[in-house]
Chains A and B, each alone.
Chain A
């Protein structure tokens, strides 16, 4: 068997097609973006080497990038401090066994499978000034002639795109936590109960520490997902009004495909890759100790 499974020609037939497609259409383009980011280039003319100045320009000359970056961090903050706690609490409640547990799980997860284009189009209408669902509710509760166009006011436009982003993936993170909690051995809880620990105490002393690896993954997913976010904002505001709701990815898209600033746009693209990588590493580091403690338990 080893002789057959070690034969080079078989290995080549099984691996090479996948590997070549992946290298050619994912890895090489990624590296190319990295290279473009060091040049001034418009796609047809000569490429001028600039070193890192495209990256410096992001923070010194770009009128929109710092604000776009700030927006992506606001989204990340909302995901981490609003979405994840909601998901976690839901998972805790559901994992203790509630009537209709399975139905709740199914319902929370529905928005996850819907395309962000549909979610965006739908929430655009929810935030409409005249017939939007939100204003209809506000009118029902108080001022009868309340009118406010959430998506066309610079102050609220970006925050209005944060709401569906948080809304859509609550069920996703809930399910990750739920699966994690369910995989914890009931022995721990029994032992704690015998020792007289309250439910709240077992949550903090047993559930959360044992879930460290799962919490780490969901943190990385929601942080990197926020930093690279594009679809919802592109659909709902297109970065407007007057660039108030831009994120790095929407600026990048404009620079690449509307202004043909291939070098500069690539720097923005590669910046997103780098920050995702760096934050993933940082979170991994922060959790290293927590995970080591778990293995001691």
Chain B
């Protein structure tokens, strides 16, 4: 009886794992096939002829390379800027002595609850008025702004858990605030900074609504929006579209496989603390 139970439970795990993986398997295989295979007899199997050309064509002729570089620029800068800004402000909230720090912290934490669409129109107008709409800065600023709250929350929590002795010794020795922050604090918060950065990275890399509204030219488009227009352009060529989609997913999957524990930690950080 007990053995049978175990088998049933294991079967449930396997069935769900199959459901989670099969669509992705299908995506990867059709990204390497010709239409003849996708729409013909070989719908589900591995490609008979592995058409790596699909990837080359998508990257070059389809413009995916440009979107890919753009996405790296937006996401990379967002991660760096949010990391610098929030490691400083979280330090101030966790360690410095000032009256309204609790108020400021609760403003940031409330920000986690704000859906992006609630700020979309006024942001659009401000970015337009500043003359930044359609360029790199016009999308970078909202990404940074919306990346701030979660990062502040994760980092503040971490700072509070660090014992004060190290800093105290440094300050008594006459170390200045900036030097102490850079040489003592930053190395210590590295794990939390990694957690927060992964969260920021995924949010920016996958973002669709802002990118769709604030960018109007092909030159500055990100992958999510780029793929959407790409899919509209090559509607019937599934292999190409599939290749584009795989390319867009590759960085997140790669980071996930390399750092799967940290990524999992990062995405549930908000849930467990909140």
The answer on A and B forming one complex is yes
- Contact partner, B252, options A14, A115, A265, Cβ 8 Å: A115
Name the interface residues of B11-28: CB closer than 8 Å to any CB of A: 12-13, 16-17, 19-24, 26-27
CB contact under 8 A between A230 and B118, given known A18-B88, A114-B252, A217-B274? no
| A56 is an interface residue with CB less than 8 A from chain B | no
Chain B residues near A170: list those with CB within 8 A: 16, 20
Kindly state the separation between the CA atoms of A235 and B227 in the bound complex, as whole angstroms: 11
Kindly state the separation between the CA atoms of A231 and B202 in the bound complex, as whole angstroms: 15
Binds B, one of A60-68, A143-151, A153-161, A251-259: A251-259
- Contact partner, B113, options A133, A167, A276, Cβ 8 Å: A276
Chain A residues near B91: list those with CB within 8 A: 14
The answer to whether B96 and A14 touch across the interface, beta carbons within 8 angstroms, is yes
Chain A residues near B263: list those with CB within 8 A: 109, 113
- Contact partner, B208, options A113, A116, A122, A175, Cβ 8 Å: A116
| A270 is an interface residue with CB less than 8 A from chain B | yes
- Contact partner, B171, options A1, A179, A214, A266, Cβ 8 Å: A1
Question: A23 to nearest B CB, angstroms?
Answer: 8
| A22 is an interface residue with CB less than 8 A from chain B | yes
| B46 is an interface residue with CB less than 8 A from chain A | no
Give a binary string over B145-167; 1 marks a CB under 8 Å from any A CB, 0 the rest.
11011001000000000000001
Count chain B residues whose beta carbon lies closer than 8 angstroms to a beta carbon of A.
89
Chain A residues near B50: list those with CB within 8 A: none
| A273 is an interface residue with CB less than 8 A from chain B | yes
Kindly state the separation between the CA atoms of A126 and B104 in the bound complex, as whole angstroms: 46
The answer to whether A25 and B252 touch across the interface, beta carbons within 8 angstroms, is no
Chain B residues near A43: list those with CB within 8 A: 125
Question: A94 to nearest B CB, angstroms?
Answer: 7
Kindly state the separation between the CA atoms of A118 and B71 in the bound complex, as whole angstroms: 15
Question: B79 to nearest A CB, angstroms?
Answer: 15
Chain A residues near B93: list those with CB within 8 A: 15
The answer to whether B202 and A113 touch across the interface, beta carbons within 8 angstroms, is yes
Residue of B nearest to A6 (CB): B97
| A39 is an interface residue with CB less than 8 A from chain B | no
The answer to whether A266 and B224 touch across the interface, beta carbons within 8 angstroms, is no
The answer to whether A15 and B256 touch across the interface, beta carbons within 8 angstroms, is no
Chain B residues near A230: list those with CB within 8 A: 117, 208-209
Chain B residues near A130: list those with CB within 8 A: 39
Name the interface residues of B230-274: CB closer than 8 Å to any CB of A: 231, 238, 241, 245, 248-249, 252-253, 255-257, 260, 263-264, 267-268, 271-272, 274
The answer to whether A175 and B168 touch across the interface, beta carbons within 8 angstroms, is no
The answer to whether B92 and A26 touch across the interface, beta carbons within 8 angstroms, is no
The answer to whether A121 and B227 touch across the interface, beta carbons within 8 angstroms, is yes
The answer to whether B20 and A107 touch across the interface, beta carbons within 8 angstroms, is yes
The answer to whether A25 and B19 touch across the interface, beta carbons within 8 angstroms, is no
| B76 is an interface residue with CB less than 8 A from chain A | no
Interface centre among A5, A94, A130 (most CB of B within 10 A): A5
The answer to whether A86 and B253 touch across the interface, beta carbons within 8 angstroms, is no
Chain B residues near A131: list those with CB within 8 A: 38-39, 43, 238
- Contact partner, A29, options B10, B89, B122, Cβ 8 Å: B122
The answer to whether A29 and B96 touch across the interface, beta carbons within 8 angstroms, is no
| B69 is an interface residue with CB less than 8 A from chain A | no
The answer to whether B118 and A30 touch across the interface, beta carbons within 8 angstroms, is yes
Chain A residues near B176: list those with CB within 8 A: 4
Kindly state the separation between the CA atoms of A235 and B121 in the bound complex, as whole angstroms: 20
| B177 is an interface residue with CB less than 8 A from chain A | yes
Kindly state the separation between the CA atoms of A33 and B120 in the bound complex, as whole angstroms: 8
Chain B residues near A107: list those with CB within 8 A: 17, 20-21
Question: A235 to nearest B CB, angstroms?
Answer: 7
The answer to whether A179 and B43 touch across the interface, beta carbons within 8 angstroms, is no
The 6 closest A-B pairs by CB, nearest first: A115-B206, A25-B145, A29-B119, A29-B122, A14-B92, A32-B122
Known: A117-B208, A122-B27. 6 other contacts (CB 8 A): A1-B172, A6-B96, A21-B145, A130-B39, A136-B44, A249-B115
Q: Which residues of A contact B (CB under 8 A)?
A: 1-2, 4-8, 10-11, 13-15, 17-19, 21-30, 32-33, 36, 43, 86, 89-90, 93-94, 98-99, 104-118, 121-123, 125-126, 130-131, 133, 136, 167, 170-172, 175-176, 179-180, 214, 217-218, 221, 224, 228, 230-231, 234-235, 249, 252-253, 256-257, 262, 265-266, 269-270, 272-273, 276-277, 280
20 contacts between A and B (CB under 8 A): A21-B145, A26-B146, A29-B121, A29-B122, A30-B114, A98-B9, A107-B21, A108-B20, A109-B263, A110-B253, A113-B202, A113-B252, A113-B255, A115-B205, A117-B227, A118-B249, A179-B272, A180-B272, A224-B115, A235-B208
